[in-house]
């Protein structure tokens, strides 16, 4: 395939404009793909950080639930003792 030269563009300016537009669109397409890939990587890293923070929070909440379940069990035992002592 032979690339068009300046003389070809000079004879047919429509071809020159079309060629320039194809090159510009190709450049913008590649630039957009590169930018999209960079944004995607940034978002993946951000999601990983958020997920790690949420995992820590879930772990803390699970420990809190276990602690409160133990306290609730103690309170229930004391309540049953009080009810048994009244009867």
Name the residue ranges covered by the structural domains of the chain. 12-86
How many CB atoms within 10 Å of residue 87? 4
Q: Model's pTM, two decimal places?
A: 0.47
Higher pLDDT, 85 or 60: 60
Segment 46-76, tens digit of pLDDT:
999 999 999 999 999 999 999 999 999 999 9
Q: How far apart are CA 83 and CA 66, in angstroms?
A: 26
Q: Is 75 helix (H, G, I), strand (E, B) or coil?
A: helix
Segment 3-51, tens digit of pLDDT:
767 787 788 888 888 889 999 999 999 999 999 988 999 999 999 999 9
| DSSP secondary structure, 4-59, as one string | P-HHHHHH-HHHHHHHHHHHHHHHHHHHHHHHHHHHHHHHHHHHHHHHHHHHHHHH
Cα angle 37-41-45, degrees, rounded to a multiple of 5: 170
Higher pLDDT, 19 or 86: 19
């Amino acid at each position: 395939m032979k690339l068009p030269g300046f003389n070809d563009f000079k004879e047919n300016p429509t071809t020159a404009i079309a060629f320039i537009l194809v090159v510009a669109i190709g450049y913008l397409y590649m630039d957009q793909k590169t930018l999209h890939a960079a944004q995607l990587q940034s978002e993946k890293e951000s999601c990983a950080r958020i997920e790690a923070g949420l995992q820590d929070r879930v772990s803390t909440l699970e420990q809190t639930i276990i602690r409160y379940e133990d306290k609730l069990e103690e309170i229930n035992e004391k309540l049953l003792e009080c009810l048994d002592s009244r009867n």
